[in-house]
Amino acid sequence: MGHQEHPDDSDRERAKRFGGSAWVTRRAFLESASLGAGVHLAAATSSSSPRRPPVASPSQAFSVGFQIFGWGRYFPSAWWKGAAAVGALGYRGIEGEYTIAELYTGRDDEFAAGMARAGVTLSALYSTTDLERAPEQWENTRKNLAAAAFCARHGARTIVLGGTEAHDKSPAAIAAFCKAATTLGRAMHDTHGVRLAVHPHMGALIESRDDISRVMDGTDPAVFFLAPDTGHLLAAGCDPVEVCRTYAERIVHLHLKDYRPGAGGQRGAFLPLGDGGVDFAGLIDVLRQRGFSGWMNIEMDGGRGADPADVARRALAFVEQRLHLVVRREAA
């Protein structure tokens, strides 16, 4: 895919896609898109879909977990509420913000006991990090290597890397990101056996299909990987099935999320699984065919007014009944 030489062009295209005349910031996009989550939640299990069921497979190499941001990101009380809620439903693994590693390093036995009580394992940690920002290099290295060490001690193998809102999306910024990503990914892999994987996100430096191509081309495939989010891919104009097919060898982790583009000049919205435009059946077919063996974590952005436990319950029904995936421990 060709590179976008003029950042203003990509800004205009983004605005056109979401029905506005000005650049849509990451914060503005998420605030508006997440409103749809609460509005449409009640229809999560009742809406019909014309999509075919996934092709039957005698085995499922991957695991299905839950990303617990719906309970909050930065406080241990939120972590344990989320862990208990999804564990009670039968999800086997959870993912949350890397700051839990900062809080429980040196208290590993306490953390392990809490996870055992909830009945879940650590599937990954999500690290909010902007690798392209040179002044943050020391802290980016410190916190991510510490998080990787924590993952290794608790059985997880992936750090999911997501950026904040990017104000510079120049080729130089992408190049700086790629250099830092390869360096950090190698240190993480060689020292802790943990994989660093980028999570393309609306408004962040790595967002569009061109951005994904540049980063995959500009980093070492042995030490830097991809952790796509189906909702954010669709929101950025990507085809999630195509991205997963093209980069199957580098995908080590996945977020399942749905999204419906806006109509009539309105912005799109993140929705419960099955209510948006993501072809989940096609996605599952590709992942099974390519032997994906990582974690596929369900996530829902925003959802103001929605009970995160209800989101998790409805999502469980969708992936078990409509996608025929094994999720719960007793079904393993």
pLDDT given for residue 50 in this prediction: 41
Mean pLDDT over residues 79-87, rounded? Answer: 97
Give pLDDT tens digits for 251-272: 999 999 999 988 876 788 999 8
**Residue 43 to residue 223: CA distance in whole angstroms:** 41
Contact 83, 114 (CB under 8 A): yes
Is residue 244 within 8 A of residue 282, CB to CB? The reply is no
pLDDT surpassing 60 at residue 147: yes
Q: Would you say residue 2 lies in a domain?
A: no
Query: What pLDDT sits at residue 253?
Result: 98
User: Please, which pLDDT band fits residue 304 given cuts at 50, 70 and 90?
Assistant: low
In-domain check, residue 1:
no
| pTM exceeds 0.75 | yes
Tell me which H or E stretch contains 187.
Answer: helix 171-192
Q: Residues 96-113: what's their mean pLDDT?
A: 97
List pLDDT tens digits, range 124-140: 999 999 999 999 999 99
Measuring CA to CA, which residue among 61, 12, 46, 5 is closest to residue 292? 61
Q: What is the CATH number of the domain that holds 102?
A: 3.20.20.150
Strands across the sheet containing 224-226: 224-226, 195-198, 158-162, 121-128, 93-97, 63-67, 295-298, 253-256
111-116 CB contacts, 8 Å cutoff, 24+ apart: 111/154, 112/154, 114/80, 114/83, 115/83, 115/154
Q: Which residues contact 235 (CB under 8 A, 6 or more apart)?
A: 29, 33, 202, 259, 261, 268, 270
| Strand-strand pairing, 224-226 and 93-97 | unpaired
Cα first-last separation, the chain: 41
Range of the domain at 314: 7-44+54-331
Q: Which residue has the tokens 């996009």?
A: 29
pLDDT category at 28 given cuts 50, 70, 90 is: low
pLDDT in tens, 210-239: 999 999 999 999 999 999 999 999 999 999
For residue 59, how many C-alpha atoms fall within 13 Å in the half-sphere facing its CB? 7
Whether the pLDDT of residue 66 is over 90: the answer is: yes
pLDDT at residue 9, as a whole number: 41
Q: Does 207 fall in a domain?
A: yes
Q: Which residues contact 50 (CB under 8 A, 6 or more apart)?
A: none
Q: What is the pLDDT of residues 173-186, one digit of tens each?
A: 999 999 999 999 99
- What's the domain count of the chain? 1
What 75-80 contacts at long range (C-beta under 8 Å, 24+ apart), as own/partner pairs, is: 76/100, 76/103, 76/104, 80/114, 80/118
Residue 267: the pLDDT is: 81
- pLDDT over threshold 60, residue 56: no
Domain assignment present for 49: no
CA pseudo-torsion sign 79, 82, 85, 88: negative
Q: Which of 68, 194, 199, 192 is nearest to 131 (CA)?
A: 199
Query: Given phi > 0 = left and psi -120 to 50 = alpha, else beta, which region is 19?
Result: left
Buried b (16+ CB within 10 A) or exposed e, 214-224: bbbeebeeebb
Any domain includes 137: yes
Q: Is residue 241 in some structural domain?
A: yes
CA distance 131 to 143: 12
